[in-house]
Amino acid sequence: MNPQEKIKELVELLNKYSQEYYNNDVSLVSDFEYDSLLRELENLEKEYPDYILPNSPTKRVGDFSESELEKIYYKTPMLSLANVFNENELIEFDNRIKKEGFNPKYVCELKIDGIASNANYSSGIFILGSTRGNGVVGENITSNMKTIKSLPQVLSNNLDIELRGEVYMKKSVFNYLNDIRKEKSEELFKNPRNAAGGSLRQLNPKITEERKLDIFNYTIVNPEKYGLHNQYEALKFLEKNGFSVNPNYELCNDINEVIKYIEKWKDTRKELDYETDGVVIKVNDFSMQERIGYTVKSPKWAVAYKFPAIEVETKMLDIVFTVGRTGNITPNAVLEPVMIAGSLVQRATLNNEDFITERDIRIGDYVLVRKAGEIIPEVVRVSFERRSDGLEPFKMIQVCPECHQTLVRAKDEAVHYCLNEECPGRIKAGLVYFASRGCMNIEGLGEKLVEDLFNLGYIKKITDIYGLYKYRMQLENIEGLGEKSVSALLDAIEKSKENSLDKVITSLGIRFVGSKVAKILTKIFFSLDEFLTATYEDYVGIKDIGTSTAKSLVNYFKKNYNLIKELESLGINPIEEAITNEEQIFAGMTIVLTGKLESLTRDEASEIIEKLGGNASTSVSKKTSFVVCGSDAGSKRTKALELGIKIISEDEFLDLVKR
């Protein structure tokens, strides 16, 4: 795979993981795996800057959650931190600062595994609470933050102040709530971080209040207003004024003391009543921070040291197999229940046959399981010294666990597939995918309910979802539902008919066609009918559409002609407006966005540029056509001036695109 293709693959994969993490509070991979992939992308982008994509996760702070909550715009962005993973990288961070002529002291704080938040007070009264969102635009969660007992609603003095913190759920509260949910046969919370995230985004504050959240505050916006000169003073100031601050912070005179602090908490943190996955290290002096400066995404004067993923030993009781929507078969370890990073783990993915055989994993083995507070744990290795005699080597199943047809292993792949398109496992996985947030976004129609509805015979294909209203009374009698839940579900189903064409194409689950490919396709084909009549030659002639994808598209629409017509008859027939050549005003141009835009988000502006034929780039070069400058534009504006590249304002850009 060439570097350009690898960058595209990594961007799409990381954005998928990020979307689930920020929008659904779901972690598809461990922090360690995500950070490893991100590091690989960063290194490739440094080596091949011309291939950097405008939607690269290296160019933004976080992801924006799609919800009904009001948007909050930050004057001072909530930046993310660069990560370091070992002592050498920590020393490199210190050396970079010293090379600039600084000799800093550092403040170390435990990195709380929760949800970043912002709180505003006016005359000592709490008036606004919000999530970080993408660092520039967050969500209004004031009502929910008012339920947090450790966040004062009224201060002892009339301060006007904006501060930032981390909302979290205590381990003890997490266990207590799960005990209650278990008694009620409700789905258990996966871990404290996800439980906190879901609780904060509830539209009903009473539910949030029941979740008993807490908060640690860690910084003040514009601290100089209060006569504060450094981070240590700021933490003391917060404590003095009644704010909850994690007590385990420490002022360190040099990087050696920082390393001692990390060693101290690496194991001791397990005794705390909250999850912490690292240490935040900040240059203490505020004036020094400003002189050291920032990158586009993060401050240069701070890093987050990530603790190694926690590994716990437990017994593997069995191996079971699940079927994906494309027929892919995934082996999963059934574990003797064990607590890892604050959550109960009973399953772990084993990926594929080669993964198991290379590690010689056997049923009955004691295995090391790694899980850094995430949902999907992984088996790391076998504790061979504890292996009992007589354990049978693993043998891959030969037939599908759902339909019992013979499995096929693809050439040059480690994955086995069930080729039966009528396989119940494949159908159920396809239904779950169709309803998921990144596709048709039918809230409430998750894996468990799909399983129930499939077994009851109410849904066998995606179009059946739109006939569920016929079973309203029966649905209300399903355990865990009820009149309100069913009404909300049916409303979400009806609302999904309004989705754009690219969302519909994505949701169909066509092999090799994810959200990015769907967006490319819907710039060429503007209705479902056009897809039905498109040929292999039509597809393969499109830039970034390869032969495998073209074949997959032709095969899908040929086999599913009647299904697509049924979707259209149900009112799912979005028509995209074609952009004529005359309207492709940015054709062949490379345009760079910099600074804060007032009327558009960076993603919205990039989408407009690409829709009108241009390439939205993140770096200024001689190939740049012009630069759009918002407020607080920095190094990109300077470089554009140096290269003599045209600079226009946001208003001029809006005039060009007639917005």
> Under a CB-based contact definition with an 8 Å cutoff, are residues 278 and 306 in contact?
yes
End-to-end CA distance of the chain: 40
Q: Please name the amino acid found at residue 592.
A: V
The Cα 504–Cα 574 span in angstroms is 8
Q: Containing H/E element for 594?
A: strand 590-594
The Cα 575–Cα 570 span in angstroms is 14
CB atoms within 10 A of CB 227: 8
Ranges assigned E (strand) in 171-324: 214-220, 250-252, 276-283, 302-306, 311-323
The Cα 590–Cα 562 span in angstroms is 42
> Under a CB-based contact definition with an 8 Å cutoff, are residues 315 and 365 in contact?
yes
DSSP codes joined into one string, 143-200: HHHTT-TTS-SB-SS---EEEEEEEE--HHHHHHHHHHHHHTTPPPP--HHHHHHHHH
Which residues are paired to 629 by β-bridges? 594, 649
Q: Containing H/E element for 128?
A: strand 125-131
Helix axes 255-268, 87-99, angle to 10 degrees: 150
- List the one residue out of 73, 316, 374 whose CA is nearest residue 194: 374
> Under a CB-based contact definition with an 8 Å cutoff, are residues 169 and 214 in contact?
yes
DSSP codes joined into one string, 327-375: SEEEEEEEEEEEEETTEEEEEEE--SHHHHHHHT--TT-EEEEE-SS-S
The Cα 188–Cα 191 span in angstroms is 9
The Cα 21–Cα 6 span in angstroms is 22
> Under a CB-based contact definition with an 8 Å cutoff, are residues 321 and 299 in contact?
no
Pairing of strands 328-340, 311-323: antiparallel
| CA–centroid distance for 49 within its chain | 24
- 253-291 b/e (C-beta count within 10 Å ≥ 16 → b): eebeebbebbeebeeebeebebbbbbbbbbbbbbebbee
The catalytic position among 59, 71, 105, 111 is 111
The Cα 78–Cα 74 span in angstroms is 8
Q: Does the annotation count 395 as an active-site position? A: no
SS3 string, 425-466, reads HHHHHHHHHHHCCCCCCCCCCCHHHHHHHHHHCCCCCHHHHH
> Under a CB-based contact definition with an 8 Å cutoff, are residues 63 and 134 in contact?
yes
CB atoms within 10 A of CB 541: 11
Q: How buried is residue 393: exposed, middle or buried, by Cβ count under 10 Å (0-12/13-18/19+)?
A: exposed
Which are the catalytic amino acids?
Answer: 111
